[in-house]
Amino acid sequence: MKNRIRIERAEKRVTQQELANAVGVSRQTIIAIENSKFLPSTPLAMKIARFFGKNVESVFILEDGD
- 3 state SS of 61: strand
pLDDT tens per residue across span 38-47: 999 999 999 9
DSSP assignment of 7-47: HHHHHHT--HHHHHHHHTS-HHHHHHHHTTSSPPPHHHHHH
pTM score of the predicted model: 0.92
Q: What is the dihedral of CA 50, 57, 60, 56, to 10 degrees?
A: 20
Phi (first) and psi of residue 20, to 5 degrees: -60, -45
Q: How confident is the model at residue 65 (pLDDT cuts 50, 70, 90)?
A: confident
Helix, strand or coil for residue 62?
coil
CATH numbers and ranges of domains, the chain: 2-60 (1.10.260.40)
